[in-house]
A and B are shown apart, each in its own frame.
Chain A
């Protein structure tokens, strides 16, 4: 399942995407995210995978948003950490 969690700010509409088919629940994203956006939880189909926590879904503009690159350099620790490339951003 591809889960797209979005937010809107002054610069547009942005999405963080987690492809749960690629996720093996290794928890690396959970460890590296400075804002604690991720959690490994049992999803609706009983798979233990990464997701954006319920609390974070309403405020990812403020928690996930700060990692949006301002120049060429990308600094998303979750992208780096995921060994399976399961995490993407629309920016």
Chain B
């Protein structure tokens, strides 16, 4: 039997954007942030504190290449080159491997700063749901971190886990959230968010005749519950926002809101670019500091 090509259900759409209202040639300070995560990489370019362009793509097996690809894509058709950028900050899992960066800053500080820019100064608690780990962050009105909570690396409750589930159930990853909400009654969450165990459990549920929607509901619910325990330890102060890829999954977000009894701020930007935007803002502050020092 000829092997049929199986669609890649886990593959989420990569994207790029340029701000048509910004004339970068008239800009004074041009900076960039590059966030090389374990699953996705982003580059964001800021011109005088305004977001000018960004790209969001999958991380490859090589961090320097992923950083370069993300940056090249963000710069594409803008007329701008890497030489026009005054300062680049690298962040994320592969932050020390960004070949053209001037400094590396942790993704915790960058997500807080980027979250502050993307959601406004009222945001106090940020949950970064990344590809391979989750971080709960509390910050002040300037986006400076007051407290953060991180765990050892594990795919449970993360984007990579969701990718595995999309693939297991042959559901395009963008549809997982909505589909998981298409259940008459909320099922019990799967007993473990550990991707290996959850996958085995889900296979068993499918065999019992559970529809895909119900299995996804049980998984999204377990994932929401896992991060709720993380957030409860930190203490959620509103306003609350979620960054990272899972923020796009309504199935997880709405269950998390229900369990915590709060609402999350509506995202105005691609939630995956928070780290890169924060890094670009750090870069801008560093340029200003350098200029001030140079000026005496």
Q: Are B152 and A2 in contact (CB under 8 A)?
A: no
- Distance in angstroms from A67 CB to nearest chain B CB is 16
Q: Are A58 and B147 in contact (CB under 8 A)?
A: no
Cβ of A26 within 8 Å of any chain B Cβ, yes or no, is no
Complex CA–CA separation, A45 to B151 (angstroms): 22
- Distance in angstroms from B273 CB to nearest chain A CB is 19
Cβ of B32 within 8 Å of any chain A Cβ, yes or no, is no
Cβ of A44 within 8 Å of any chain B Cβ, yes or no, is yes
Number of interface residues, chain B, beta carbon within 8 A: 19
Q: Are A13 and B152 in contact (CB under 8 A)?
A: no
Q: Are A1 and B152 in contact (CB under 8 A)?
A: no
What chain A residues lie within 8 Å of B198 (beta carbons)? none
Complex CA–CA separation, A45 to B109 (angstroms): 9
Identify which of residues 206-231 in chain B touch chain A, using a CB-to-CB cut-off of 8 Å.
Answer: 229
Among B109, B144, B150, the residue within 8 A (CB) of A57 is B150
Give 1 or 0 for each of A54-68: 1 = CB within 8 Å of chain B CB: 000111110000000
Q: Are B229 and A8 in contact (CB under 8 A)?
A: no
Cβ of B153 within 8 Å of any chain A Cβ, yes or no, is yes
Q: Are B109 and A6 in contact (CB under 8 A)?
A: no
What chain B residues lie within 8 Å of A60 (beta carbons)? 152
Q: Are A7 and B151 in contact (CB under 8 A)?
A: yes
Give B112's nearest chain A residue, CB to CB. A44
Complex CA–CA separation, A86 to B233 (angstroms): 19
Give 1 or 0 for each of A1-33: 1 = CB within 8 Å of chain B CB: 111111110000101000000000000000000
- Distance in angstroms from A40 CB to nearest chain B CB is 16
What chain A residues lie within 8 Å of B282 (beta carbons)? 44
Number of interface residues, chain A, beta carbon within 8 A: 17
Identify which of residues 133-167 in chain B touch chain A, using a CB-to-CB cut-off of 8 Å.
Answer: 144-154
Cβ of B106 within 8 Å of any chain A Cβ, yes or no, is yes
Q: Are B146 and A5 in contact (CB under 8 A)?
A: no
Among B145, B146, B152, B234, the residue within 8 A (CB) of A61 is B152
Complex CA–CA separation, A57 to B133 (angstroms): 12
Identify which of residues 42-79 in chain A touch chain B, using a CB-to-CB cut-off of 8 Å.
Answer: 44-45, 57-61
Cβ of B274 within 8 Å of any chain A Cβ, yes or no, is no
Given contacts A44-B105, A45-B109, A45-B144, contact A6 B153 (CB under 8 A): no
Q: Are B146 and A6 in contact (CB under 8 A)?
A: no
Q: Are B229 and A5 in contact (CB under 8 A)?
A: no
Give A61's nearest chain B residue, CB to CB. B152
Among A3, A13, A45, the residue within 8 A (CB) of B148 is A3
Q: Are B149 and A7 in contact (CB under 8 A)?
A: no
Q: Are B109 and A15 in contact (CB under 8 A)?
A: no
Q: Are A2 and B150 in contact (CB under 8 A)?
A: no
Q: Are A4 and B150 in contact (CB under 8 A)?
A: yes
Extra contacts, 5 of them, besides A2-B148, A57-B150 (Cβ < 8 A), are: A8-B154, A44-B105, A44-B145, A58-B153, A61-B152
Interface residues of A (CB under 8 A from B): 1-8, 13, 15, 44-45, 57-61
Shortest beta-carbon contacts, A-B, top 8: A44-B109, A2-B147, A4-B149, A6-B151, A7-B152, A44-B105, A1-B145, A58-B153
Please name 10 pairs of A and B residues whose Cβ atoms are closer than 8 Å in the assembled complex, sorted by A: A4-B148, A4-B234, A13-B229, A15-B233, A44-B106, A44-B108, A45-B109, A57-B150, A58-B152, A58-B153
